[in-house]
Structure 1
């Protein structure tokens, strides 16, 4: 059987996200409907920002499955998504920014007012016993005539009027020099008065706080962001604005009063990818099994975890602790391993030696001959000690090599005695293994297995579901739908999805092609580092450079921040430095691209670059300079990459 995991974005469940919402483990740390000031939720594409924001909206709060008999309603969430194409209509075209600011605030007034009325109707038609349609019909909205004499005083009349005004505004926006400009409502003041009128008219809402949940804040233009920032500064009960955005999503920290909003003083932020990282493997397994349950012909699965998921443990906030029980987690892992096969490090080594052992033995023999120890080849080669054979050539390629010492350590290792080979294998196996595969094939078993899929996804559910769906789809077409999914099928699927996400960079934002070019260059350097014969610093997948972003030119800074914004690069505080100069941040190439470049998905060692190196990679006009940079590292590492920039799969 296969699972249809193709729907993995909240946008595909617009307005019905609550039906698909599974409580993430960080949920109790997010206080969007009780906060006393703004919350900023951020993370990469596909990490669940939109699903979270929509869950806190009234459509989820007061759906017919949410029984609520309380008379009072402490909070109502109003979801609003910033539409980039629509926002871009409100700029330029011969009008000053202040004129467009009035139009934008009118647009917000109409959008929020319509949603607030819709929320009241939803509550009245829900199982909530404190409010009904008769209560709503008794509200007198005549006080709003101060903004526009044509505003009706009754509920249905006002609802129709707001819809009509929206159509009039949209028509004017498309014909700003052909149609008369409508009367603009004043944004914050209009909505504040609107809310106060409702609170004073409805006893169950007399203490209600309305939370405006602004999604995809980064889609706003600068002056629009300044308006929302001003609303953030104004935020307090009964009207508080929350926003969600990608990293580096703040277009500006400036508000319309020229002051800046500031973290902690004006808002508190949450990085939801970091919040869910520690439990991501469990969460991903739950999502996958939950999707299986919804299929017409689900996979045959048994186990404690599956039984609990069928009981609804994922959608019951009060049962979240059950999901951290060790017996439950063990059951989850057992089920996932039955779907996605995985090889142990020993099995990987055994299989490689079985297929390519003669080739690797020849490399070891030539190296020993070069060092003057050809006589030791037979003594230092043992196919039964496959993991040691994988790392042996790298050990013999190091400048500080002592062949006799390695020989003695290997003899002890063969006898099962305490040996440095145990540590050498632990430290060097993955890097050495990858270097061998990048020379012979474009797929590698290191990218297979459920646990490895979650690490390649690095906390991003969209990426994980993409990997899982591709593996299951491919398995159905080539493996007669039997399970577990074979290693080779998983490897091919991981490469296909990695290539797809790599190619997708071109379509991200305004600098997609420049970001794609940078990613290819950086990936090539990391691939080159992985091919270093000595593997003295294996698994280099992140980098830093002196001075950080501020040392770049302004255009380069903007491009670099876009790379972080779209999570092509993952920014973190620098963990280690080899000198007194401390760099604030280090940057990891998103692991989802690791199969494309045949590099490790783990964050193990850092590559220290110079500001000039980063500058060259950011500048697409400096092709020759990059080739010179590549040559410099080839000589430094005594390595040669098999990748060429124009030979990526579909890139």
Structure 2
């Protein structure tokens, strides 16, 4: 078994996380307004927040050095929400008397209950971090200020009869008290605990504990790596906020608005699953004057490539420093160049080469004939721009010209049209590549840096998963079975050598394997109690295959990369036994099968627009670029896929939809311009 620097791929599973400091993290820490950051699962939200978590920074030399500051002027406290938080406060509300007759009183009760549990949880997190840092010798406390802070908090909870509330002299006592109070919220069948919860909810005004943290507790901290007193700001890092219920999200927004200026906030949530505007305050919403909103997964290809390179470099470099210091070099940098930049024509040649058949022979002859015709019309100096050099065959250009109705040879005569012509070819070349392979009854080869990035789909966790597979493959070639450490070091040195491209066949094998795992996960859904998820995902996957690989349908080239699905979620809900279609799609997005492009309301109908995750492309044999052209889905068909009473065959559904496919006219026209 190999030792792999790219595993685990999830922050929560790492014992000693290697964090690359995203430049965006530094900009967020200096923001005055609360920042809501969002993205898909695995795009790096948790890592970004943890990179600003003071306990993580002071205990992680690699991360600390990346800040380049002798003293940090903020203290970052990290708190991760989960569905338990939602259930606990809802249960407490039931125990405390249920819903009030007056809606406004009910809102106040919900708000106070949420704030009580939230502030106690936040305070416990801060105190736990400080005590852990004290134990490691990183900081110490001013005894007088520590006692003052404890005295203030003890006074707030003076009416509580638990033994932990009786003696609170230092932060150790305070931690025990807070743990006891938080436990009271879950012990709803214990009358003593219920009384304690009632006292807690009524014992302080929301925001009180936040101010004590900022002014008193942090004021008691002495640390060489942190500013002291008023110079030390407080940053609250809240993760997985989509786990909160709708009313809790409104409560959190209300809390932010009511406590402006006390601390800075960075709130992370999954795209489209948090209400960043609504509050309980009369006629008051959070708007752009109150908060910033930033997508951390909307990166350009260049930005995402750089992100991946930096994360991979840090993981491999620190692995060498930990396990083989003599092999570590400060200037080591992995680049996507190790995967090479094979052209589509090169990949087609590799896919159909060595497989003589009438289909392949006829296709090559047609391309040869087209090349002879085109070179008689195009100036010789322009031949390389259209893959018509000596010894090359312009497979892609032929498909675009003949199937896509783009008269390359005629248009290339005018020098002024060449750049525009190249852009038209570029827009269709991935679809033409897939089309050519399937025309010859060959499976497309997935290899090259852009293919790796596409399969990652803007998701750093998926990129690391792919890199882990690459690493295992090469480590095995280097003798990982008998010498795992030596093989790992040798593999890292290979990956740092940008002039040594990884073998195309191995790249294809790895991407197919990673993609195949996702397809197997979809197939596994049919053996669960949620078979409707299998029918939906398998049906959508088969449908995209038909849209992009059916060589009898020239739309695969005329309208390339169809497969962005748009459907009325409200219409599906009215026809289906499965409630809330949008929630189902969001669930599949969290599982890494779909990507939601947008949701919108149009004339009292709620529409959902989504596509397959690009990681599925190799296993399905479709365009590596993913889907870009919109296709309308019929709600009745989706409803039948979801309804166990019909148990619609997903293959049959996909074939029926393919026969009735209808793309959005405006997008077709825009594409053909």
The CA distance in 1 between the partners of 2:287 and 2:611, in whole Å, is 25
Match of 1:457 in 2: 456
Q: TM-score, normalized by length of structure 2?
A: 0.70
Q: Offset at 1:21? A: 2.0
Structure 1 189/633 Cα, relative in aligned 2: closer, same or farther at 3 Å?
A: closer
**Among residues 26, 31, 37, which one is paired with 1:35 in the alignment?**
31
Structure 1 179/76 Cα, relative in aligned 2: closer, same or farther at 3 Å?
A: same
Does 1:232 find its partner at 2:256?
yes
Does 1:147 find its partner at 2:156?
yes
* 8 A contact 1:4–1:469 mirrored in 2: yes
1:206-355 to structure 2, matched below 5 A, reads 206=230, 208-250=232-274, 254-257=278-281, 261-275=285-299, 278-295=302-319, 307-309=329-331, 332-333=334-335, 336-338=336-338, 340=339, 343-355=342-354
Structure 1: give runs of 5+ residues left out of the alignment.
Answer: 311-330, 369-375, 413-417, 575-582, 638-651
Structure 1 227/84 Cα, relative in aligned 2: closer, same or farther at 3 Å?
A: same
**Among residues 554, 562, 582, which one is paired with 1:557 in the alignment?**
582
Match of 1:314 in 2: none
Match of 1:9 in 2: 10
47-56 or 67-76: bigger deviation:
67-76
* 8 A contact 1:26–1:275 mirrored in 2: no
Match of 1:579 in 2: none
Structure 1 265/570 Cα, relative in aligned 2: closer, same or farther at 3 Å?
A: farther
Match of 1:358 in 2: 357
**Among residues 652, 655, 672, which one is paired with 1:627 in the alignment?**
652
Structure 1 295/560 Cα, relative in aligned 2: closer, same or farther at 3 Å?
A: closer
* SS in structure 1 at match of 2:354: helix
**Among residues 176, 189, 192, which one is paired with 1:163 in the alignment?**
176
Q: 1:497-535, CA deviations, whole angstroms, 9 ceiling, x for partnerless residues?
A: 22333555789xx99865554333222222112223234
Match of 1:313 in 2: none
Structure 1 3/165 Cα, relative in aligned 2: closer, same or farther at 3 Å?
A: closer
Q: Offset at 1:120? A: 4.6
Match of 1:181 in 2: 194
* SS in structure 1 at match of 2:625: coil
Q: 1:132-181, CA deviations, whole angstroms, 9 ceiling, x for partnerless residues?
A: 4445445353233442226467552x532442452464366245256542
Q: Offset at 1:287? A: 2.0
Q: Offset at 1:457? A: 0.9
Structure 2: give runs of 5+ residues left out of the alignment.
Answer: 100-105, 222-227, 375-387, 480-486, 495-500, 575-579, 600-605, 663-673
**Among residues 617, 625, 639, which one is paired with 1:594 in the alignment?**
617
Structure 1 355/605 Cα, relative in aligned 2: closer, same or farther at 3 Å?
A: farther
**Among residues 48, 52, 57, which one is paired with 2:53 in the alignment?**
57
Does 1:109 find its partner at 2:107?
no
Q: Offset at 1:247? A: 0.7
Match of 2:40 in 1: 44
Structure 1 234/422 Cα, relative in aligned 2: closer, same or farther at 3 Å?
A: closer
RMSD between aligned alpha carbons?
Answer: 5.0
Q: Offset at 1:74? A: 4.6
* SS in structure 2 at match of 1:295: helix
Match of 1:321 in 2: none
176-185 or 451-460: bigger deviation:
176-185
Structure 1 383/530 Cα, relative in aligned 2: closer, same or farther at 3 Å?
A: farther
Structure 1 106/586 Cα, relative in aligned 2: closer, same or farther at 3 Å?
A: closer
Match of 1:473 in 2: 472
The CA distance in 2 between the partners of 1:367 and 1:100, in whole Å, is 72
* SS in structure 2 at match of 1:279: helix
* SS in structure 1 at match of 2:557: coil
Structure 1 359/292 Cα, relative in aligned 2: closer, same or farther at 3 Å?
A: farther
The CA distance in 1 between the partners of 2:623 and 2:373, in whole Å, is 28
Q: Offset at 1:119? A: 4.7
The CA distance in 2 between the partners of 1:201 and 1:411, in whole Å, is 72
Q: TM-score, normalized by length of structure 1?
A: 0.72
Match of 1:433 in 2: 433
* 8 A contact 2:6–2:315 mirrored in 1: yes
Q: Offset at 1:461? A: 0.8
* SS in structure 2 at match of 1:176: coil
* 8 A contact 1:142–1:153 mirrored in 2: no
Q: Offset at 1:80? A: 0.4
Structure 1 390/214 Cα, relative in aligned 2: closer, same or farther at 3 Å?
A: closer
1:443-454 to structure 2, matched below 5 A, reads 444-445=444-445, 447-454=446-453
Q: 1:447-503, CA deviations, whole angstroms, 9 ceiling, x for partnerless residues?
A: 222332122212211000111111221333467678654322222221222233355
* SS in structure 2 at match of 1:453: helix
